[in-house]
Amino acid sequence: MAISPYFADRPAAALAMIDITAAVAIAMLAAWIGFATGAPDRAAATDVRPRVDADVEIPGEPIQPIPLDLAIDLRTAELGRRLFNDPRLSHRGTISCASCHAAEHDFAGDAPATEEPPRRNATLDVPTIRNSWFSIAQFWDGRAATLEAQVDFPLQSPDEMASSWPEVIGRLRADPDYLAAARAIGKEPLSPELVRASIAEYERSVVSSGSRFDAFLRGQGDALSADEKAGYALFKQYGCSACHQGVAVGGNLFQRLGLFGDYFHDRGGPITRADLGRYNVTGDESDRYVFKVPSLREAALLPPYFHDGSVATLEAAIATMARYQLGRKIPADDIRLIAAFLRSLPGTTAEARP
Ligand code: HEC
Ligand code: HEC
């Protein structure tokens, strides 16, 4: 599978930062899961820096609510929303960011994971951009350190927008509306930096607002049903929250897929370049099959599951995780309860704020 254009740039600085704290994070992880053996030593973990100023800190909980005030610059975010939906960012003027991350599809794609060229990238499941700024890095393999840096990849990838900055900036500068918008926020002349910053600011405004689970965390006991509460308790007891934790219920660690058992052997089919995960970014053998632990905030809404989109239902994804990440079989009733908990996580507000 050739998705090489994607992997051209390496966020070296960000990786260095991540490596420093790896030992600490692995130790924490081992303690949380209670592994007796050395299995987590094989995992490449990273730090759990808080990304936002929390308005509350819920003590003793691995999951924290999404802050209510995100301090978004609304004018910049509105410019970003227009750019995100503008097909002039692609070479042929046919696809925008929203073509793959449509608001009406919860900002995720519904492209089948097996789609053949010219959309070779579709061999990777399209994640939602919602809550993506709470992550330590962008993409399944974390190859973009920030939302700003992420923009360059789809814009320039021959498999996606196949465009270039001179081309894009030339077109946008010919549009009086964009020039006026850049002037209004004091960012003239319209530049690649402004496009990156605006799109990133828009993405930061796209979060799971109104999550019932957050209402529960913030003290509203009746926001969850008894089943959903039981599911959350199981999620913690089984150790899911050792990896899926923090504001985004994930997004703040890198972990190997298949700590117990060989996921890829059992899945069958050829190992694609995308399956190599973080190895494609670092070249380290220990990063083979290592992925960013995905946020589960919107997972209930967004099948199929995993980077390869190989699993169709939430229940099957939970069973797969139990088997390959925790080395155990979870009874069907517990899977049902954990799924009920995961369905309480998504936001209830469909659109982004600006
Ligand atoms: C042709 C489809 C397509 C287009 C167009 C596209 N994306 Fe994506 N996007 C993807 C896929 C596939 C991934 C996952 C790729 C990976 O992880 O390697 C992704 C990942 C992302 C992520 C990372 C999310 C995460 O959880 O790691 C962000 C943010 C994002 N895209 C924003 C954008 C922006 C901004 C644009 C426009 C400049 C854009 N995308 C255009 C398909 C697309
Ligand atoms: C050791 C770390 C670890 C543990 C423990 C863990 N996960 Fe995961 N989880 C991951 C990683 C890494 C992925 C991404 C794998 C991939 O896509 O290749 C993932 C993916 C998922 C997904 C798919 C999300 C998506 O958008 O595709 C779900 C759902 C999930 N995990 C639920 C759970 C549940 C429920 C548990 C507990 C039974 C659990 N996980 C335990 C690391 C972990």
Q: What is the pLDDT of residues 149-164, one digit of tens each?
A: 999 999 999 989 999 9
- The CATH number for 281's domain is 1.10.760.10
Which tokens belong to 320? 């797969």
Cβ 340 under 6 angstroms from ligand 2: no
Residue numbers of the domain that contains 109: 74-205
Q: Which residue bears the tokens 């969850």?
A: 224
Report yes or no on 125 lying in a domain. Answer: yes
When pLDDT is averaged across residues 75-86 and rounded to a whole number, the result is 96
From ligand 2's centre to the CA of 169, what distance in Å?
39
Report yes or no on 181 lying in a domain. Answer: yes
From ligand 1's centre to the CA of 30, what distance in Å?
32
Spatial contact of 141 and 272, defined as CB atoms under 8 Å apart: no
Pair 109, 190 in one domain: yes
Which tokens belong to 178? 């964009």
Query: How many domains, the chain?
Result: 2
What would the pLDDT profile of 169-195 be if each residue is shown by its tens digit?
999 999 999 999 999 999 989 999 999
C-alpha dist (Å) from residue 112 to 138, 188, 199, 309 = 21, 40, 26, 8
Q: Which residues, 6+ apart, have CB-to-CB distance to 331 below 8 Å?
A: none
Which tokens belong to 31? 């303690």
How many angstroms separate the CA atoms of 154 and 109, rounded? 14
Alpha carbon 85 to chain centroid, angstroms: 20
Amino acid at 15: L
Task: Give the number of the atom of ligand 1 that is nearest the alpha carbon of residue 122.
Answer: 12
Closest ligand to Cα 113 = 1
Pair 297, 239 in one domain: yes
Pair 262, 336 in one domain: yes
Torsion sign, CA atoms 218, 322, 28, 24: negative
Q: What residue ranges in 202-247 does DSSP mark as E strands?
A: none
Q: Which residue bears the tokens 């492209």?
A: 111
Q: What pTM was estimated for this model as a whole?
A: 0.86
Pair 243, 331 in one domain: yes
Kindly tell me if the per-residue pLDDT of 168 is higher than 80.
yes
From ligand 2's centre to the CA of 234, what distance in Å?
15
From ligand 2's centre to the CA of 321, what distance in Å?
5
Cβ 338 under 6 angstroms from ligand 2: yes
Residue of the CA atom closest to atom 37 of ligand 2: 240
Ligand 1 binding pocket (C-beta < 6 A) is 6, 84, 89, 95, 97, 99-101, 109, 119, 121, 124, 126-127, 129, 132, 135, 138-140, 147, 150-151, 154-155, 160-161, 199, 203
Report yes or no on 256 lying in a domain. Answer: yes
Torsion sign, CA atoms 51, 233, 338, 103: negative
Pair 102, 142 in one domain: yes
Cβ 234 under 6 angstroms from ligand 2: no
Ranking 186-190, 282-286, 293-297 by mean pLDDT, the lowest is 186-190
Report yes or no on 59 lying in a domain. Answer: yes
| Alpha-helix residue ranges (DSSP H) falling in the chain | 12-20, 22-33, 74-84, 97-100, 147-150, 152-156, 165-173, 176-184, 192-205, 212-217, 226-238, 263-267, 279-282, 314-326, 332-342
How many angstroms separate the CA atoms of 282 and 294, rounded? 19
Helix (H) or strand (E) holding 291: strand 290-292
Residue 109 pLDDT grade (very low, low, confident, very high; cuts 50, 70, 90): confident
Task: Give the number of the atom of ligand 2 that is nearest the alpha carbon of residue 302.
Answer: 26
From ligand 1's centre to the CA of 151, what distance in Å?
8
Spatial contact of 197 and 76, defined as CB atoms under 8 Å apart: yes
Ranking 96-110, 244-258, 260-274, 331-345 by mean pLDDT, the lowest is 96-110
Q: Which residue bears the tokens 């308005």?
A: 55
Report yes or no on 42 lying in a domain. Answer: yes
User: Which of the listed residues 144, 172, 205 is the one where a domain comes to its end?
Assistant: 205
C-alpha dist (Å) from residue 236 to 6, 33, 49, 302, 322 = 35, 10, 21, 22, 13
Spatial contact of 123 and 159, defined as CB atoms under 8 Å apart: no
| CA nearest neighbour of 330 among 344, 340, 318, 312 | 318
Report yes or no on 4 lying in a domain. Answer: no
Cβ 346 under 6 angstroms from ligand 2: no
User: Which of the listed residues 180, 205, 230 is the one where a domain comes to its end?
Assistant: 205
| CA nearest neighbour of 291 among 53, 44, 122 | 44
| CA nearest neighbour of 298 among 130, 70, 98 | 130
Pair 101, 170 in one domain: yes
Pair 140, 217 in one domain: no
Reported as half-sphere exposure (CB side, CA atoms, 13 A), residue 29 has a value of 31
Report yes or no on 2 lying in a domain. Answer: no
Torsion sign, CA atoms 241, 247, 249, 255: negative
- Other C-beta atoms closer than 10 Å to the C-beta of 142 total 25
Report yes or no on 287 lying in a domain. Answer: yes
Pair 64, 213 in one domain: yes
How many angstroms separate the CA atoms of 119 and 121, rounded? 5
Kindly tell me if the per-residue pLDDT of 67 is higher than 60.
yes
Pair 103, 199 in one domain: yes
Site to probe by mutation for ligand 2, drawn from 289, 321, 323, 326 as the one with most ligand atoms within 8 Å of Cβ, is: 321
